[in-house]
Amino acid sequence: MRADRPRGWRLVGRYTVLGVVAAVVLFPIYAVLLQALKSGPDALDHPSSLLPTHLTLDTITTAWTDGNLGRMMLNSMLVSLLVTAGVMLTSLLSAYAFAFLRFPGRGVLFVFFVATMLVPAEVTVVINRRTADSLGWLNSYQGLVVPALASTFGMLLVRQMFLTLPKELHEAASLDGVGHLRFLWEVAAPLSRPTLGALGLFTFLGTWNAYLWPSQVITDEAHKTIQIGLEDLKTPGDISRFNLITGGLVIAALPIFVMLVLFQRQLVRGLTAGAVKG
């Protein structure tokens, strides 16, 4: 398309706008990264603290060791992976039922699923903590993982994708006597790979960044995730640790950032796939 391909000054203008906007969006990240790469008086020596001078990894390594962040990163990683795998599985199954199967009460059930999406965590958290308590799941991985395993968002996303698959595909398969599970595994799921990829990424991001529920269900160091561990770095009344927060922030956001750089295109493509013929 010609309109999409500006030349000459318009091209320069476009890059300028893109560059300026990107700089504004990225500025907070840059400032914090820089703060984290300085230590001691340098970090507080304003306003020159915005220039990349006297860079050191001290703050980050101190945050890492003082905050016991290694263990927390592992916990976050484990929990995020388990939840991601689980959500993809439950979403595939329920999406299949809603997309391909006809049964009485389907509409009502569908509305039920969607309605649960609107229940704020603020409403459920007190009782859920008590449920986890009575199950003996406080301070445990099950307590972090199990309640997050069902996702209506995931079901909707996958169902949307399934609906774009030609109906004949499913009809032909069931005429050939192919079972539901086999069709799901061998046909529907592989065809929905981009969507599943996007779902996986979003679920991973969401779980990695979860704050409220982990803070309720976990108290001990052994099971703490990185998000709630970060707060320990922000000790009230202690100015000397102010800078450590930035080191912790960089560590917490880094894995996600790397993932984003690697998979950003897949994320968009996965979301587009289901939407095209919604």
Residues 203-232 contacting another protein, CB under 8 A: 205, 208-212, 215, 219-221, 227, 230-232
Report d(CA 209, CA 228) in Å as an integer: 9
Our finding on whether 266 is near another protein (CB under 8 A) is: no
Element (H, E) at 3: none
Our finding on whether 101 is near another protein (CB under 8 A) is: yes
Among residues 59, 94, 192, 203, which is the contact residue for another protein, using CB under 8 A?
94
Q: Are the beta carbons of 99 and 163 closer than 8 angstroms?
A: yes
Question: Looking at 57-65, 77-85, 109-117, 185-193, which segment touches another protein (CB under 8 A)?
Answer: 109-117
Question: Looking at 51-59, 77-85, 102-110, 185-193, which segment touches another protein (CB under 8 A)?
Answer: 102-110
Please identify, using beta-carbon distances, which residue of 61 and 272 lies nearer to another protein: 272
Please identify, using beta-carbon distances, which residue of 23 and 81 lies nearer to another protein: 23
> C-beta of 149: minimal distance to another protein in Å?
5
Among residues 9, 51, 108, 122, which is the contact residue for another protein, using CB under 8 A?
122
Among residues 9, 46, 51, 176, which is the contact residue for another protein, using CB under 8 A?
46
> C-beta of 1: minimal distance to another protein in Å?
6
Our finding on whether 245 is near another protein (CB under 8 A) is: yes
Report d(CA 187, CA 209) in Å as an integer: 33
Within 8 A by CB and 6+ apart from 265, the residues are none
Q: Are the beta carbons of 269 and 84 closer than 8 angstroms?
A: no
Report d(CA 95, CA 110) in Å as an integer: 10
Q: Binding mask 126-165 vs another protein (x if CB under 8 A, - otherwise)?
A: xxxxxx-xx-x-x-------xx-xx-x--x----------
Our finding on whether 188 is near another protein (CB under 8 A) is: no
Identify which of 247, 245, 221, 216 has the alpha carbon closest to the alpha carbon of residue 231: 245
Report d(CA 23, CA 273) in Å as an integer: 30
Question: DSSP readout, 86-140?
Answer: HHHHHHHHHHHHHHH---TTHHHHHHHHHHHTTS-HHHHHHHHHHHHHHTT-TTS
Among residues 57, 74, 111, 260, which is the contact residue for another protein, using CB under 8 A?
260
Among residues 9, 25, 168, 177, which is the contact residue for another protein, using CB under 8 A?
25
